[in-house]
Structure formats: structure tokens, C-alpha cells
Amino acid sequence: MRTRRIGNLEVSALGLGCMGMSWAYGAVPDRAAMIGLLRSAVDRGVTFFDTAEMYGPHTNEELLGEALQPLRSRVVIATKFGFAIGVPPTPDGPALDSRPENIRRVAEASLRRLRTDVIDLFYQHRVDPAVPIEDVAGAVKDLIQAGKVRHFGLSEASAATVRRAHAVQKVTALQSEYSLWERRVETGVMPVLEELGIGLVPYSPLGRGFLTGALDATTPFAEGDFRNNLPRFAPEARKANRALVDLLGRIGARKGATPAQVALAWLLAQKPWIVPIPGTTRLARLEENLGAVDLELSAGDLGDLEAALKAIEVHGARYPEALERMTGR
């Protein structure tokens, strides 16, 4: 497995997003099978694992703690704080809490659940408008100085917020949605990341499964699958967005690769400091995704892809309005 640097943290070129192993996609997969999958990922060279207090809540961190404790010296674990767990949502979306005292409390609880003495990368899950970002960065700086956290990250933050946080405590990575069907991070945020030496960790790099080609307008989602509530996954939007998957399939056929591999290879080709974290609950999909690391897209391939993308309009918002307002702050 090749490695990359995000900030001054070295990780595998592809990480593993673990949310779906415990939460968000309907029925929770078998725990023993997920522990086996996590350990298989390490065996295949994956060193970067992403979780959050919010996933479950708490159960995803517990899963990673059990699975990765015997392999702790070989892996980098990222988790997140910032949601007010157990507090009812507001009209503006899920309740947030990035007060310094809550950051400290979450850190201690996450350390216990992850069965570790240090969190490698601690992200603010969403920017909390009620708490100055300088106070957030200062709280994480204190945790770093105490040896409980190694690196500080932000998620779905604006360029201005990244700058303000970085001035207090160096930001190692920004996690944001980034893929062939969600590219807004390119315009304002990525130039600032490059300037400051901050890595980008794209979540949902395969469009929550859509860019794999496995979904079409008629694919049903289970009860409890949060894609049921996403405008981009409405049947009419999926039908319209199929043009993007067809494009990936045509390029994949030329390269001897799957649509998912082309989509991930495209991300890896954008910048050397980008480390996508596709999620899966299946070993075959994990191995398919890892194959993208060795897929070389030439300048011609990338140019052809870019030219074709200009003729494709992505239909549907990625989030409902309340959740979209929580991004880009």
C-alpha cells in the first residue's frame, strides 16, 4: 500500500470510513464480521480509520476499539466531537456543542471507547456558530499538550474558519465531502489547504455508493437508511445522475477498472495531499477500492474526464436544507 502525507501525518493512500459498520445505512451489520473486515483492512495495508462519537452514537468507536486494539501500533485512528449527543434536534438541524468543556469530556470518553491512550486525529465534526473557532482550537491544543490527542482536524469548515483555527493550533486535515459529483470544496477551500500545508480527507468519495454503479433509480433503500432523506437519492435524481456513472463505466472499460476505481483514482490524481476514506461493509468492495491506488489516470484520461463532466449536470441537493446549512461555516 502506498502512503501519503496529510499535514505531517503519514497514512495509507486510502483510508477506511467506518460509519456504515454501525449506523446510517439501515440494519447494523454483524459485529464479528465487521471486526474481521477491519482487521483484514490492516492486513491489506490500510492504516487510516475514521469514526466519530456521533456514529451510533458511540457504538462505532467501541467497534473500532475492540477490532484495532491488538493492532494499535499499526494504525491511525481519527474520531470527531461537536454534536450534542442526546439533545433533540433544533429547526436548524442536529444540536451542536463545541464548548471546550464538552470537547474535553468527549475526548476522555472516546479514549475509553477506542481502548487507546491517544487520539491520532481529533476533528470538529461541524463548526459550532455558538463557540468561537479559536476556543475550539485552543481546547484541542490543550489536549495535544496533555498527550491525549496528536493532531487537530476540522470537518466541512470554510476557508476563513480553517485560517482562524490554524492560527491557534495547526490544522492537520480538513474532512469534507468531495467526489466527482460534489466539487464545491475545490473553489474556495483547497487553495487555502495547499497554502497552509493541510491535508484533505474526502468522505463519501463514491457518492454514498452511487458512483460504484450498483444503484439505479429503482434500487430500494432499507428502513433507517439515511439516503432515503437525501434529495440526490430521490428516484428521479438517481435516474438523471446515471449519466455520471455511465461516463465512469466507459473510462473504466478502457482502463480495465471499475467505476468506483476510476472515481477514487480521479480523486487521488487531484493533489498528493488528498486521502479519500471510502466506506464499505464487504471485503470484496474493500479490495476493489484499494485497487484504485494502483490505477494510473494519464493527463489525457483526466482531460477526457473533465471535458465530459462539463456536459453532465448533477441533480439534487446533497443534504436537506437544515443539514446543508451546517456546512461551509
The full DSSP string for 213-261 is T---TT----TTBGGGG-GGGSHHHHHHHHHHHHHHHHHHHHHT--HHH
Residue of 55, 123, 178, 203 with catalytic role: 55
**What is the distance, to the nearest Å, from the Cα of residue 225 to the centroid of all Cα atoms in its chain?**
18
Residue 206 main-chain phi, psi, to 5 deg: -110, 25
Give the Cα separation of 289 and 262 in Å (integer): 10
DSSP-derived pairing of the beta strands 3-6 and 9-12: antiparallel
User: Can you state the angle between helices 259-270 and 283-290, rounded to 10 degrees?
Assistant: 40
And the C-alpha cell for 214? 450498483
Examine the residue annotation and report whether 203 is marked as an active-site residue of this protein.
Answer: no
DSSP-derived pairing of the beta strands 48-50 and 76-81: parallel
Element at 3 (helix H, strand E): strand 3-6
The full DSSP string for 94-131 is S-B---HHHHHHHHHHHHHHHT-S-EEEEEESS--TTS
Sequence-ordered list of residues with C-beta below 8 angstroms from that of 134, at least 6 positions apart, any chain: 164, 165, 167, 168
What separation in angstroms does the CA of 329 have from each of 133, 205, 248? 10, 21, 32
Give the Cα separation of 73 and 57 in Å (integer): 26
> Active-site residues: which are they?
55
